[in-house]
Amino acid sequence: MNNFEPKRLIEAHDPEIAKRLEARHEELRAGASTSSAVKAGMMMGSAAIAMGAVASDVYGQGSALPGVVAGVLNFALTLEYLESEFYIRGVGTPNLIPSDMFNVFDQIRKHEVAHVALLRGVLGSLQVPKPEFDFTGGRGRGNGPFADVFSNPQTFAALSQAFEDTGVRAYKGQASYLIDSPDILETALRVHAVEARHAAEVRRMRDQKGWIVGSSRGNLPPQTQPVYNGEATTFHFILARPGSGISMTEAFDETLTKSQVLDIVAPFLVTR
Amino acid sequence: MESEIHMSLLSVMGAPSRRDFLKTTAIGAAAVALPTVLSGCHVVGAIGKRKLDFGDDFGVLNYAYTLEALEAGFYERVVKAPPRDLRPGEFEVLRDIGAHEVQHRRFFKRALGVLRVQLPEFDWSSIDFTRRDTVLAAAKNFEDTGVAAYNGAGKRIKLAEFLTIAGEIVSVEARHAATIRDLIDPMSRSFAGDDVIDAQGLDRALPPSEILAVVQPFFKTPVRVTGL
Protein backbone atom coordinates (compact mmCIF):
# COMPACT_ATOMS: atom_id res chain seq x y z
CA MET A 1 0.00 0.00 0.00
CA ASN A 2 2.85 2.35 0.74
CA ASN A 3 4.98 1.12 -2.09
CA PHE A 4 3.31 2.90 -4.97
CA GLU A 5 5.52 5.08 -7.02
CA PRO A 6 4.25 8.33 -5.60
CA LYS A 7 4.35 10.58 -8.60
CA ARG A 8 2.58 8.06 -10.75
CA LEU A 9 -0.09 7.72 -8.07
CA ILE A 10 -0.65 11.42 -7.88
CA GLU A 11 -0.76 11.83 -11.61
CA ALA A 12 -3.38 9.14 -11.77
CA HIS A 13 -5.52 10.86 -9.18
CA ASP A 14 -4.75 14.43 -9.79
CA PRO A 15 -2.68 15.69 -12.73
CA GLU A 16 -3.04 19.26 -11.49
CA ILE A 17 -1.27 18.48 -8.23
CA ALA A 18 1.41 16.51 -10.00
CA LYS A 19 2.15 19.58 -12.09
CA ARG A 20 2.34 21.82 -9.05
CA LEU A 21 4.60 19.43 -7.19
CA GLU A 22 6.89 19.38 -10.17
CA ALA A 23 6.96 23.16 -10.20
CA ARG A 24 7.79 23.18 -6.50
CA HIS A 25 10.59 20.74 -7.13
CA GLU A 26 12.03 23.15 -9.68
CA GLU A 27 11.78 26.06 -7.25
CA LEU A 28 13.67 24.17 -4.60
CA ARG A 29 16.34 23.22 -7.09
CA ALA A 30 16.64 26.87 -7.99
CA GLY A 31 17.34 27.66 -4.32
CA ALA A 32 13.96 28.47 -2.81
CA SER A 33 13.90 28.22 0.97
CA THR A 34 11.21 27.06 3.37
CA SER A 35 7.78 27.67 1.97
CA SER A 36 5.45 30.35 3.20
CA ALA A 37 3.12 27.60 4.35
CA VAL A 38 5.71 26.30 6.80
CA LYS A 39 6.15 29.81 8.17
CA ALA A 40 2.41 30.34 8.34
CA GLY A 41 2.02 27.07 10.17
CA MET A 42 4.67 27.98 12.67
CA MET A 43 3.22 31.42 13.19
CA MET A 44 -0.16 29.90 13.89
CA GLY A 45 1.49 27.70 16.45
CA SER A 46 0.14 24.63 14.77
CA ALA A 47 2.51 21.72 14.65
CA ALA A 48 0.16 19.93 12.30
CA ILE A 49 0.14 22.79 9.84
CA ALA A 50 3.88 23.24 9.95
CA MET A 51 4.40 19.50 9.63
CA GLY A 52 2.15 19.33 6.63
CA ALA A 53 3.95 22.12 4.93
CA VAL A 54 7.33 20.63 5.71
CA ALA A 55 6.08 17.40 4.20
CA SER A 56 5.24 19.24 1.01
CA ASP A 57 8.69 20.77 0.96
CA VAL A 58 10.37 17.45 1.51
CA TYR A 59 8.48 16.02 -1.41
CA GLY A 60 9.85 18.82 -3.52
CA GLN A 61 13.30 17.53 -2.60
CA GLY A 62 12.49 14.11 -3.96
CA SER A 63 11.17 12.20 -0.95
CA ALA A 64 8.50 9.63 -1.68
CA LEU A 65 5.63 9.80 0.76
CA PRO A 66 4.58 13.40 1.21
CA GLY A 67 3.30 13.63 -2.35
CA VAL A 68 0.82 10.95 -1.38
CA VAL A 69 0.03 12.95 1.75
CA ALA A 70 -0.68 16.06 -0.31
CA GLY A 71 -2.96 14.01 -2.54
CA VAL A 72 -4.88 12.71 0.46
CA LEU A 73 -5.19 16.16 1.99
CA ASN A 74 -6.41 17.71 -1.25
CA PHE A 75 -8.97 14.96 -1.57
CA ALA A 76 -10.09 15.74 1.98
CA LEU A 77 -10.10 19.46 1.18
CA THR A 78 -12.41 18.90 -1.78
CA LEU A 79 -14.89 17.09 0.47
CA GLU A 80 -14.60 19.76 3.13
CA TYR A 81 -15.20 22.49 0.50
CA LEU A 82 -18.37 20.62 -0.47
CA GLU A 83 -19.57 20.30 3.11
CA SER A 84 -18.66 23.81 4.22
CA GLU A 85 -20.36 25.48 1.27
CA PHE A 86 -23.39 23.25 1.76
CA TYR A 87 -23.83 24.32 5.39
CA ILE A 88 -22.91 27.96 4.80
CA ARG A 89 -25.65 28.16 2.18
CA GLY A 90 -28.12 26.11 4.19
CA VAL A 91 -27.70 27.97 7.45
CA GLY A 92 -27.69 31.27 5.56
CA THR A 93 -30.93 30.60 3.69
CA PRO A 94 -33.84 32.33 5.48
CA ASN A 95 -36.64 30.03 6.62
CA LEU A 96 -34.89 26.84 5.50
CA ILE A 97 -33.63 25.33 8.75
CA PRO A 98 -36.35 24.70 11.37
CA SER A 99 -35.48 26.57 14.55
CA ASP A 100 -35.06 23.40 16.63
CA MET A 101 -32.42 22.13 14.17
CA PHE A 102 -30.54 25.39 13.81
CA ASN A 103 -27.97 24.84 16.56
CA VAL A 104 -27.00 21.45 15.19
CA PHE A 105 -26.50 22.59 11.60
CA ASP A 106 -24.76 25.77 12.68
CA GLN A 107 -22.33 23.79 14.85
CA ILE A 108 -21.60 21.50 11.90
CA ARG A 109 -21.11 24.52 9.63
CA LYS A 110 -18.59 25.93 12.10
CA HIS A 111 -16.56 22.71 12.06
CA GLU A 112 -16.58 22.26 8.30
CA VAL A 113 -15.43 25.84 7.77
CA ALA A 114 -12.64 25.22 10.30
CA HIS A 115 -11.63 22.02 8.48
CA VAL A 116 -11.30 23.91 5.19
CA ALA A 117 -9.10 26.53 6.84
CA LEU A 118 -6.98 23.87 8.51
CA LEU A 119 -6.41 21.86 5.34
CA ARG A 120 -5.68 24.94 3.26
CA GLY A 121 -3.12 25.95 5.87
CA VAL A 122 -1.46 22.55 5.77
CA LEU A 123 -1.37 22.40 1.98
CA GLY A 124 -0.24 25.96 1.39
CA SER A 125 0.65 26.44 -2.25
CA LEU A 126 -0.32 22.86 -3.07
CA GLN A 127 -3.99 23.33 -2.28
CA VAL A 128 -6.57 22.67 -4.93
CA PRO A 129 -9.04 25.48 -5.64
CA LYS A 130 -12.64 25.20 -4.53
CA PRO A 131 -14.79 23.56 -7.20
CA GLU A 132 -18.19 24.90 -8.19
CA PHE A 133 -21.00 22.90 -6.65
CA ASP A 134 -24.50 21.96 -7.73
CA PHE A 135 -26.21 20.74 -4.58
CA THR A 136 -29.23 19.60 -6.54
CA GLY A 137 -27.03 16.75 -7.77
CA GLY A 138 -27.45 17.93 -11.35
CA ARG A 139 -23.76 18.27 -12.31
CA GLY A 140 -24.27 21.96 -12.94
CA ARG A 141 -27.67 21.88 -14.56
CA GLY A 142 -29.25 22.92 -11.27
CA ASN A 143 -32.20 20.56 -11.65
CA GLY A 144 -30.93 17.30 -10.16
CA PRO A 145 -32.83 14.92 -7.89
CA PHE A 146 -32.31 17.23 -4.90
CA ALA A 147 -33.68 20.32 -6.66
CA ASP A 148 -35.40 21.60 -3.50
CA VAL A 149 -32.29 21.24 -1.32
CA PHE A 150 -32.37 24.89 -0.19
CA SER A 151 -36.14 25.22 0.10
CA ASN A 152 -37.14 21.93 1.72
CA PRO A 153 -35.56 21.23 5.12
CA GLN A 154 -36.07 17.50 4.73
CA THR A 155 -34.08 17.42 1.52
CA PHE A 156 -31.36 19.51 3.13
CA ALA A 157 -31.17 17.17 6.15
CA ALA A 158 -31.17 14.09 3.91
CA LEU A 159 -28.22 15.39 1.88
CA SER A 160 -26.49 16.38 5.09
CA GLN A 161 -26.69 12.80 6.35
CA ALA A 162 -25.42 11.45 3.03
CA PHE A 163 -22.48 13.87 3.00
CA GLU A 164 -21.52 13.16 6.61
CA ASP A 165 -21.72 9.39 6.31
CA THR A 166 -19.66 9.67 3.11
CA GLY A 167 -17.10 11.87 4.85
CA VAL A 168 -16.60 9.34 7.63
CA ARG A 169 -15.93 6.53 5.18
CA ALA A 170 -13.75 8.72 2.97
CA TYR A 171 -11.34 9.80 5.73
CA LYS A 172 -11.18 6.24 7.02
CA GLY A 173 -10.19 4.96 3.60
CA GLN A 174 -7.26 7.36 3.42
CA ALA A 175 -5.83 6.86 6.92
CA SER A 176 -3.35 4.17 5.97
CA TYR A 177 -1.77 6.44 3.36
CA LEU A 178 -0.81 8.77 6.20
CA ILE A 179 0.84 6.10 8.36
CA ASP A 180 4.31 7.54 7.89
CA SER A 181 3.22 11.09 8.72
CA PRO A 182 2.14 10.71 12.35
CA ASP A 183 1.10 14.28 13.05
CA ILE A 184 -0.95 14.57 9.90
CA LEU A 185 -2.47 11.16 10.58
CA GLU A 186 -3.51 12.27 14.04
CA THR A 187 -5.06 15.45 12.68
CA ALA A 188 -6.96 13.45 10.06
CA LEU A 189 -8.23 11.03 12.71
CA ARG A 190 -9.43 13.94 14.82
CA VAL A 191 -11.34 15.37 11.85
CA HIS A 192 -12.71 11.90 11.06
CA ALA A 193 -14.20 11.57 14.56
CA VAL A 194 -15.91 14.94 14.23
CA GLU A 195 -17.48 13.89 10.94
CA ALA A 196 -18.78 10.77 12.70
CA ARG A 197 -20.31 12.87 15.49
CA HIS A 198 -22.01 15.02 12.83
CA ALA A 199 -23.29 11.97 11.02
CA ALA A 200 -24.76 10.45 14.17
CA GLU A 201 -26.55 13.64 15.19
CA VAL A 202 -28.05 14.30 11.76
CA ARG A 203 -29.16 10.68 11.54
CA ARG A 204 -30.92 10.99 14.90
CA MET A 205 -32.64 14.21 13.85
CA ARG A 206 -33.90 12.25 10.84
CA ASP A 207 -35.25 9.49 13.07
CA GLN A 208 -32.45 7.11 12.17
CA LYS A 209 -30.11 5.33 14.53
CA GLY A 210 -26.82 7.15 14.99
CA TRP A 211 -24.95 4.28 13.35
CA ILE A 212 -25.27 2.52 10.01
CA VAL A 213 -27.38 -0.65 10.11
CA GLY A 214 -26.25 -3.25 7.59
CA SER A 215 -25.83 -1.40 4.31
CA SER A 216 -29.18 0.29 4.65
CA ARG A 217 -29.72 3.85 3.50
CA GLY A 218 -32.81 3.90 5.74
CA ASN A 219 -35.18 6.66 4.76
CA LEU A 220 -32.81 8.30 2.28
CA PRO A 221 -33.65 8.33 -1.45
CA PRO A 222 -32.22 5.58 -3.69
CA GLN A 223 -29.59 7.86 -5.25
CA THR A 224 -27.71 7.73 -1.95
CA GLN A 225 -27.31 3.94 -1.86
CA PRO A 226 -23.62 4.03 -2.93
CA VAL A 227 -22.91 5.87 0.33
CA TYR A 228 -23.90 2.69 2.20
CA ASN A 229 -22.81 -0.10 -0.11
CA GLY A 230 -20.30 -2.39 1.57
CA GLU A 231 -21.25 -1.33 5.09
CA ALA A 232 -22.74 -4.75 5.89
CA THR A 233 -19.45 -6.60 5.81
CA THR A 234 -18.63 -8.56 8.91
CA PHE A 235 -15.19 -9.66 7.78
CA HIS A 236 -12.42 -7.73 9.42
CA PHE A 237 -9.11 -8.89 8.16
CA ILE A 238 -7.60 -11.16 10.76
CA LEU A 239 -10.82 -12.81 11.73
CA ALA A 240 -11.38 -15.91 9.66
CA ARG A 241 -14.69 -16.38 11.43
CA PRO A 242 -16.34 -13.01 11.59
CA GLY A 243 -18.66 -11.90 14.31
CA SER A 244 -22.26 -12.28 13.34
CA GLY A 245 -25.48 -10.38 13.54
CA ILE A 246 -26.66 -6.93 12.70
CA SER A 247 -24.75 -5.45 15.63
CA MET A 248 -21.51 -6.54 13.96
CA THR A 249 -22.36 -4.48 10.88
CA GLU A 250 -23.16 -1.52 13.09
CA ALA A 251 -20.05 -1.86 15.24
CA PHE A 252 -17.63 -1.27 12.35
CA ASP A 253 -17.83 1.59 9.88
CA GLU A 254 -16.28 0.58 6.57
CA THR A 255 -13.92 2.41 4.26
CA LEU A 256 -14.61 3.88 0.85
CA THR A 257 -11.88 4.27 -1.73
CA LYS A 258 -11.11 7.62 -3.27
CA SER A 259 -12.73 6.66 -6.56
CA GLN A 260 -15.86 5.39 -4.81
CA VAL A 261 -16.13 8.71 -2.99
CA LEU A 262 -15.53 10.71 -6.16
CA ASP A 263 -18.31 8.76 -7.87
CA ILE A 264 -20.64 9.65 -4.99
CA VAL A 265 -19.85 13.36 -5.07
CA ALA A 266 -19.55 13.72 -8.87
CA PRO A 267 -23.23 14.73 -9.36
CA PHE A 268 -22.64 17.64 -6.97
CA LEU A 269 -19.70 19.04 -8.93
CA VAL A 270 -20.25 21.43 -11.80
CA THR A 271 -18.69 19.95 -14.90
CA ARG A 272 -18.20 21.89 -18.06
CA MET B 1 6.25 -16.77 33.28
CA GLU B 2 5.92 -14.86 30.07
CA SER B 3 6.12 -16.93 26.93
CA GLU B 4 8.04 -15.54 24.03
CA ILE B 5 7.58 -16.17 20.35
CA HIS B 6 10.88 -15.41 18.75
CA MET B 7 11.70 -14.56 15.20
CA SER B 8 13.13 -18.05 14.79
CA LEU B 9 9.58 -19.35 14.64
CA LEU B 10 9.17 -17.45 11.43
CA SER B 11 11.81 -19.37 9.58
CA VAL B 12 10.02 -22.60 10.50
CA MET B 13 6.85 -21.24 9.03
CA GLY B 14 8.49 -20.37 5.74
CA ALA B 15 7.82 -17.18 3.86
CA PRO B 16 4.47 -17.11 2.12
CA SER B 17 3.03 -13.77 1.19
CA ARG B 18 2.22 -11.56 4.10
CA ARG B 19 -1.36 -11.17 2.99
CA ASP B 20 -1.97 -14.91 2.93
CA PHE B 21 -0.83 -15.15 6.49
CA LEU B 22 -2.92 -12.23 7.60
CA LYS B 23 -5.96 -14.01 6.28
CA THR B 24 -5.34 -17.23 8.16
CA THR B 25 -5.15 -16.77 11.88
CA ALA B 26 -4.50 -14.20 14.50
CA ILE B 27 -1.35 -16.01 15.45
CA GLY B 28 -0.27 -16.01 11.84
CA ALA B 29 -0.77 -12.32 11.78
CA ALA B 30 0.99 -11.99 15.09
CA ALA B 31 4.00 -14.08 14.28
CA VAL B 32 4.50 -13.04 10.71
CA ALA B 33 2.98 -9.70 9.89
CA LEU B 34 4.48 -7.55 12.54
CA PRO B 35 8.06 -8.70 12.57
CA THR B 36 8.17 -7.74 8.91
CA VAL B 37 7.27 -4.27 9.98
CA LEU B 38 9.07 -3.93 13.27
CA SER B 39 12.78 -4.02 13.01
CA GLY B 40 14.67 -6.69 14.87
CA CYS B 41 11.99 -7.31 17.43
CA HIS B 42 10.48 -10.31 19.07
CA VAL B 43 6.86 -10.80 19.93
CA VAL B 44 6.14 -11.45 23.56
CA GLY B 45 3.24 -13.71 24.33
CA ALA B 46 1.06 -11.66 26.56
CA ILE B 47 -1.54 -14.02 27.89
CA GLY B 48 -1.69 -13.79 31.64
CA LYS B 49 0.10 -10.49 31.53
CA ARG B 50 -1.41 -7.40 33.01
CA LYS B 51 1.14 -5.06 31.53
CA LEU B 52 0.48 -3.05 28.39
CA ASP B 53 3.69 -2.80 26.41
CA PHE B 54 3.43 0.01 23.89
CA GLY B 55 6.66 -1.09 22.23
CA ASP B 56 4.73 -2.70 19.39
CA ASP B 57 1.33 -2.79 17.72
CA PHE B 58 0.10 -5.52 20.06
CA GLY B 59 0.49 -3.18 22.98
CA VAL B 60 -1.75 -0.71 21.19
CA LEU B 61 -4.27 -3.42 20.31
CA ASN B 62 -4.28 -4.68 23.91
CA TYR B 63 -4.84 -1.11 25.06
CA ALA B 64 -7.88 -0.94 22.76
CA TYR B 65 -8.98 -4.38 23.99
CA THR B 66 -8.82 -3.21 27.59
CA LEU B 67 -10.82 -0.06 26.88
CA GLU B 68 -13.43 -1.93 24.85
CA ALA B 69 -13.78 -4.48 27.64
CA LEU B 70 -14.34 -1.66 30.11
CA GLU B 71 -17.05 -0.16 27.92
CA ALA B 72 -18.67 -3.53 27.24
CA GLY B 73 -18.67 -4.39 30.93
CA PHE B 74 -20.31 -1.07 31.73
CA TYR B 75 -23.16 -1.50 29.24
CA GLU B 76 -23.68 -5.13 30.23
CA ARG B 77 -24.41 -3.95 33.74
CA VAL B 78 -26.66 -1.15 32.50
CA VAL B 79 -28.68 -3.46 30.26
CA LYS B 80 -29.02 -6.13 32.94
CA ALA B 81 -30.51 -3.65 35.41
CA PRO B 82 -31.40 -0.42 33.63
CA PRO B 83 -32.28 2.73 35.57
CA ARG B 84 -36.02 3.01 36.06
CA ASP B 85 -36.12 6.62 34.99
CA LEU B 86 -34.84 6.03 31.44
CA ARG B 87 -37.02 7.78 28.87
CA PRO B 88 -38.75 6.01 25.98
CA GLY B 89 -36.26 4.69 23.45
CA GLU B 90 -33.22 5.18 25.64
CA PHE B 91 -32.94 1.56 26.75
CA GLU B 92 -32.76 0.45 23.12
CA VAL B 93 -29.98 2.94 22.44
CA LEU B 94 -27.95 1.72 25.41
CA ARG B 95 -28.61 -1.92 24.45
CA ASP B 96 -27.43 -1.29 20.86
CA ILE B 97 -24.28 0.54 21.98
CA GLY B 98 -23.56 -2.23 24.46
CA ALA B 99 -23.87 -4.81 21.69
CA HIS B 100 -21.33 -2.85 19.61
CA GLU B 101 -18.87 -2.73 22.50
CA VAL B 102 -19.27 -6.47 23.04
CA GLN B 103 -18.47 -6.97 19.33
CA HIS B 104 -15.37 -4.79 19.68
CA ARG B 105 -14.23 -6.71 22.77
CA ARG B 106 -14.77 -10.04 21.00
CA PHE B 107 -12.97 -8.77 17.92
CA PHE B 108 -9.83 -7.84 19.84
CA LYS B 109 -9.97 -10.99 21.94
CA ARG B 110 -10.04 -13.19 18.85
CA ALA B 111 -7.63 -11.08 16.87
CA LEU B 112 -5.02 -11.01 19.62
CA GLY B 113 -5.42 -14.66 20.53
CA VAL B 114 -2.61 -15.76 22.80
CA LEU B 115 -1.13 -12.29 22.64
CA ARG B 116 -3.96 -10.72 24.62
CA VAL B 117 -3.44 -9.35 28.08
CA GLN B 118 -5.40 -10.58 31.04
CA LEU B 119 -8.17 -8.07 31.56
CA PRO B 120 -8.29 -6.30 34.88
CA GLU B 121 -11.28 -6.78 37.13
CA PHE B 122 -13.48 -3.77 36.98
CA ASP B 123 -14.61 -1.62 39.87
CA TRP B 124 -18.01 -0.03 39.24
CA SER B 125 -18.52 1.32 42.74
CA SER B 126 -18.22 4.94 41.65
CA ILE B 127 -21.20 4.70 39.30
CA ASP B 128 -24.82 4.85 40.45
CA PHE B 129 -26.48 2.43 38.04
CA THR B 130 -29.97 3.18 39.38
CA ARG B 131 -30.20 6.68 37.95
CA ARG B 132 -30.53 7.82 34.33
CA ASP B 133 -28.40 10.92 34.78
CA THR B 134 -25.44 9.15 36.38
CA VAL B 135 -25.56 6.29 33.88
CA LEU B 136 -25.65 8.67 30.91
CA ALA B 137 -22.87 10.80 32.41
CA ALA B 138 -20.69 7.71 32.79
CA ALA B 139 -21.52 6.60 29.24
CA LYS B 140 -20.57 10.02 27.91
CA ASN B 141 -17.28 9.88 29.76
CA PHE B 142 -16.47 6.40 28.43
CA GLU B 143 -17.37 7.27 24.83
CA ASP B 144 -15.58 10.62 24.70
CA THR B 145 -12.56 8.96 26.32
CA GLY B 146 -12.68 6.10 23.83
CA VAL B 147 -12.62 8.50 20.89
CA ALA B 148 -9.70 10.45 22.33
CA ALA B 149 -7.86 7.21 23.08
CA TYR B 150 -8.11 5.87 19.53
CA ASN B 151 -7.26 9.27 18.07
CA GLY B 152 -4.17 9.46 20.26
CA ALA B 153 -3.08 5.89 19.65
CA GLY B 154 -3.46 5.83 15.87
CA LYS B 155 0.00 7.20 15.20
CA ARG B 156 1.55 4.43 17.32
CA ILE B 157 0.25 1.76 14.95
CA LYS B 158 2.83 0.56 12.45
CA LEU B 159 0.80 -1.85 10.32
CA ALA B 160 -1.62 -0.25 7.85
CA GLU B 161 -4.23 -2.98 8.26
CA PHE B 162 -4.38 -2.43 12.01
CA LEU B 163 -4.71 1.30 11.49
CA THR B 164 -7.67 0.79 9.17
CA ILE B 165 -9.36 -1.49 11.71
CA ALA B 166 -8.86 1.11 14.43
CA GLY B 167 -10.41 3.65 12.08
CA GLU B 168 -13.39 1.41 11.47
CA ILE B 169 -14.03 1.26 15.21
CA VAL B 170 -13.26 4.80 16.32
CA SER B 171 -15.93 6.39 14.16
CA VAL B 172 -18.51 4.13 15.76
CA GLU B 173 -17.27 5.29 19.18
CA ALA B 174 -17.70 8.86 17.97
CA ARG B 175 -21.24 8.04 16.83
CA HIS B 176 -21.89 6.67 20.32
CA ALA B 177 -20.46 9.77 21.95
CA ALA B 178 -22.68 12.06 19.89
CA THR B 179 -25.70 9.84 20.53
CA ILE B 180 -25.24 9.78 24.32
CA ARG B 181 -24.72 13.54 24.32
CA ASP B 182 -27.91 13.90 22.29
CA LEU B 183 -29.80 11.90 24.92
CA ILE B 184 -28.48 14.17 27.66
CA ASP B 185 -28.98 17.44 25.79
CA PRO B 186 -31.14 16.82 22.70
CA MET B 187 -30.78 18.80 19.47
CA SER B 188 -28.20 21.12 20.98
CA ARG B 189 -24.58 21.79 20.03
CA SER B 190 -23.46 19.27 22.63
CA PHE B 191 -23.13 16.27 20.26
CA ALA B 192 -19.88 17.84 19.06
CA GLY B 193 -19.59 20.49 21.73
CA ASP B 194 -16.89 23.05 22.20
CA ASP B 195 -15.82 21.12 25.33
CA VAL B 196 -14.41 18.33 23.11
CA ILE B 197 -14.00 19.91 19.66
CA ASP B 198 -11.44 22.70 19.38
CA ALA B 199 -11.46 25.86 17.26
CA GLN B 200 -9.83 24.00 14.37
CA GLY B 201 -12.75 21.58 14.36
CA LEU B 202 -10.69 18.73 15.84
CA ASP B 203 -11.86 16.11 18.33
CA ARG B 204 -9.51 15.27 21.18
CA ALA B 205 -6.48 12.99 20.85
CA LEU B 206 -5.02 11.93 24.18
CA PRO B 207 -1.92 9.86 24.89
CA PRO B 208 -2.31 6.54 26.74
CA SER B 209 -0.96 8.07 29.95
CA GLU B 210 -3.82 10.55 30.10
CA ILE B 211 -6.44 8.00 29.08
CA LEU B 212 -5.26 5.55 31.72
CA ALA B 213 -5.47 8.28 34.35
CA VAL B 214 -9.15 8.61 33.45
CA VAL B 215 -9.94 4.88 33.48
CA GLN B 216 -7.65 3.57 36.28
CA PRO B 217 -10.32 4.27 38.92
CA PHE B 218 -12.46 1.61 37.20
CA PHE B 219 -9.75 -1.08 37.52
CA LYS B 220 -9.53 -3.08 40.75
CA THR B 221 -5.88 -3.71 40.05
CA PRO B 222 -3.97 -0.97 38.27
CA VAL B 223 -2.93 -1.65 34.68
CA ARG B 224 0.80 -1.19 34.33
CA VAL B 225 2.24 0.29 31.20
CA THR B 226 5.64 0.20 29.53
CA GLY B 227 7.09 1.29 26.24
CA LEU B 228 5.57 4.76 26.19
- Asked if A176 lies within 8 A of B164 by C-beta distance, the reply is yes
- Asked if B150 lies within 8 A of A189 by C-beta distance, the reply is yes
Ranking A249-263, B7-21, B33-47 by mean pLDDT, the lowest is B7-21
Q: Is the pLDDT of residue B49 over 90?
A: no
What's the rounded mean pLDDT across residues A218-226?
A: 97
What's the rounded mean pLDDT across residues B29-51?
A: 48
| Percent of chain A's residues with pLDDT above 70 | 72
**Cβ-nearest to B192 among A2, A198, A211:** A198
Q: Which of the residues A174, A186, A201 would you substitute to probe the B interface, choosing the one with the greatest number of B C-beta atoms within 10 Å?
A: A201
Q: Is the pLDDT of residue A236 over 80?
A: no
Which phi and psi (to 5°) does residue A241 adopt? Answer: -105, 105
B188 chain-A contacts, CB cut-off 8 A: 103-104
Ranking A24-38, B5-19, B87-101 by mean pLDDT, the lowest is B5-19
Residue of A224 and A238 predicted with greater confidence: A224
For residue A256, what are the contacts with CB-CB under 8 A and spacing of at least 6? Answer: A166, A169, A170, A172, A173, A230, A264
CB atoms within 10 A of CB A128: 20
| N residues, chain B | 228
pLDDT in tens, A198-215: 999 999 999 999 999 999
Residue of A252 and A34 predicted with greater confidence: A252
pLDDT in tens, A165-208: 999 999 999 999 999 999 999 999 999 999 999 999 999 999 99
Which residue in A has a C-alpha nearest to residue B30's C-alpha? A238
Highest mean pLDDT among A105-119, A240-254, B47-61: A105-119
Rg of chain B on CA atoms, in Å: 19
How far, CA to CA in Å, does B66 sit from each of A216, B1, B109, B116?
A: 31, 21, 10, 9
pLDDT in tens, A21-71: 444 444 434 444 444 443 333 333 333 333 334 444 444 333 333 789 999
Q: Is the pLDDT of residue B31 over 50?
A: no
In which element (H, E) is residue B53 found? Answer: strand B52-53
What's the rounded mean pLDDT across residues A126-130?
A: 95
pLDDT at A77: 97
Q: Is the pLDDT of residue A17 over 50?
A: no
Q: Is the pLDDT of residue B27 over 50?
A: no
Across the A:B interface, residue pairs with CB atoms under 8 Å apart total: 201
CB B171 within 8 A of CB A192: yes
Residue of A61 and A98 predicted with greater confidence: A98
| Percent of chain B's residues with pLDDT above 70 | 79
Report ipTM (2 d.p.).
0.84
pLDDT at B117: 92
Q: Is the pLDDT of residue B131 over 90?
A: yes
- As a whole number of angstroms, the distance between CA A126 and CA A24 comes to 9
CA distance to partner chain A, nearest, from residue B117 (Å): 18
pLDDT at A210: 98
CB atoms within 10 A of CB A9: 15
| Percent of chain B's residues with pLDDT above 90 | 69
